[in-house]
Amino acid sequence: MFRKILITAAMTICTTFSAYAAEEWKIIHAGTLLADAREQVRIEQSIIIRNSEIIEVRDGYVTAGQVSGAASAKIIDLKGQFVMSGLIDSHTHILSQQEANRREIRVTRSSELSTLMGVEFGMRTLRAGFTSIRNVGGDRNAIFALRDAINQGIVMGPRIKAAGQGMTPTGGHGDGGGFRDDIFPHPHSGVCDGAAECRKAVRTQIKYGADHIKYVATGGVLSMTATGTGQQFTDEEQIALVQAAHAMGRKVAAHAHGKIGLEAALRAGVDSIEHGSYLDEETADLFVATGAYLVPTLIAGHTVERIATERPDFYIPEVQQKALEVGPVMKNALRIAYDKGVKIAFGTDAGVNDHGTNAYEAVLMNEAGMPERAILISATVNAADLMSLTDITGTIEAGKDADIIAVSGNPLEDIATLLAPSFVMARGTEINLDVPPVDLFPWPKI
């Protein structure tokens, strides 16, 4: 009797193990495939996927029987669709979205609630076709927990590379906004002044899990102070921030609007400039010389300008003023940068705009004069390069993760087709797109 129980137990373990180790095969029949945004489309292709990985891309529509080991493969019919690599947003704040009482939230919302909100916002982003995001500032504990939970398969979401807290000088764009010290402890981990403190602040983020470092080189639109959009960290502080990050193998993203502060960040050696609103031709030359990416975030400018115009009571006067000034100049900055050959990585500032509206950035980039193909490159190959994900995503080829989307039209001819993907797969998992929209809060809509 005892022996029989042992045998049954052993069989159960074996069954469980084999179920766990089972391979799941999928074959996507792609009518039109843009495997690499830098290359030409190919017609009638099959993408063969095992678990989360692309195994092979073959000409023609192959059957499960034609792929060794894939007899039970699920065939996914996208013969009438345009199939391409999952999109990448290089600038998100996935834990939050603009709310009218954002000042109060800053000192009342828990990290735990932020993480859970990030799960919902992440799914909205994923359903919009964005299979990877680079988060550039937000509650450190919350974002690292969300990233790790997604990586470990505990919750679904886009692949996240996270900065943790952004670095800011005291009173600067990322600082608390004038709260008393007993309400908003100061300095918190992202605030630093002087080279030594800045180095320590960078190292602290890395200690807790930062994939990259974000700092604010200049003032910003949504900081609740009338400190403009000019340089805030000194040249010396910026050099210390970048050197400390690079020494530990982390890339650096610098938020920058004004020309002087922006150029100081480029000279300090940052890997990307976020926004870049007031760059000119001279600045663009400096971009090209240093090889830094511009992450344009046009939709952020578009959103704040629209809110400031349509809902004049939404922002406090200091923010209202900046929103009306900065919004309109950003398209011009992208036009100058693109014409000069600056490397562009797609990024929105989602959280300023509603999560899930990320692809509208592509429409605005196109309006600014950037061709469709260049936009698709910026949102796949280039963003993957900036995020050090080139070996993992950004193109559809053997060995990479199966991050794949489909749209009904041809985005090389009409970029707006990106607004409504018909199919999304992230790391081999098909995402259910049939989810009714839920308006959780009265956020301003673009």
Q: How far is the CB of 308 from Zn ion (least distance, A)?
A: 17
**Tokens at residue 3, please?**
């022996």
Q: Which is nearer to Zn ion, 273 or 424 (CB)?
A: 273
Residue 157 or 301: which CB sits closer to Zn ion?
A: 301
Determine the residue type at 259: K
- The dihedrals phi and psi of 390, each to the nearest 5 degrees, come to -55, -35
Closer residue to Zn ion (CB): 192 or 350: 350
Contacts with Zn ion, 308-347, as mask; x by CB under 5 A:
----------------------------------------
Q: How far is the CB of 179 from Zn ion (least distance, A)?
A: 20
Q: Yes or no: say if 290 and 268 are a contact pair by the CB < 8 Å rule.
A: no
DSSP H or E segment with residue 297: none
Q: x/- contact string, 390-429, with Zn ion (CB under 5 A)?
A: ----------------------------------------
- The smaller minimum CB distance to Zn ion, of residues 97 and 395, is found at 97
Q: How far is CA 168 from the centre of its chain?
A: 21
User: Can you read off the two tokens belonging to residue 301?
Assistant: 């400018």
Nearer of residues 169 and 411 to Zn ion, judged by Cβ: 169
Q: Measured between alpha carbons, how far is 358 from 364 in angstroms, rounded to an integer?
A: 11
User: Helix, strand or coil for residue 160?
Assistant: strand
* Residue whose entry in the numeric block shows the structure tokens 């990416």: 293
Q: How far is the CB of 166 from Zn ion (least distance, A)?
A: 8
d(CA 237, CA 383): 27
Interface segment toward Zn ion; rule CB under 5 A; list 95-103, 126-134, 237-245, 349-357: 349-357
Task: Report, in Å, the least distance between residue 52 CB and Zn ion.
Answer: 29
Closer residue to Zn ion in complex, CB, 245/404: 245
Residue 89 or 349: which CB sits closer to Zn ion? 349
Per CB under 5 A, 349 contacts Zn ion: yes
Nearer to Zn ion, 349 or 361 (CB): 349
State the minimum distance, in angstroms, from the CB of residue 76 to Zn ion: 35
Q: What is the 3-state secondary structure (H, E, C) of 380-408?
A: HHHHHHHCCCCCCCCCCCCCCECCEEEEC
Closest CB to Zn ion: residue number: 349
Q: How far is the CB of 438 from Zn ion (least distance, A)?
A: 24
C-alpha torsion angle, residues 87, 89, 94, 96 (rounded to 10): -120
Q: What is the 3-state secondary structure (H, E, C) of 63-87?
A: CHHHCCCCCCCEEEEEEEEEEEECE
Tally the C-alpha atoms within 13 A of residue 223's C-alpha that lie toward its C-beta: 24
**Closest approach of Cβ 286 to Zn ion, in Å?**
22
A 10 A CB-CB count for 74 gives 13
Greatest Cα-to-Cα distance within the chain, rounded to the nearest angstrom:
85
The CB-of-235 to Zn ion minimum distance in angstroms stands at: 22
By CB under 5 A, name the binding residues for Zn ion. 349
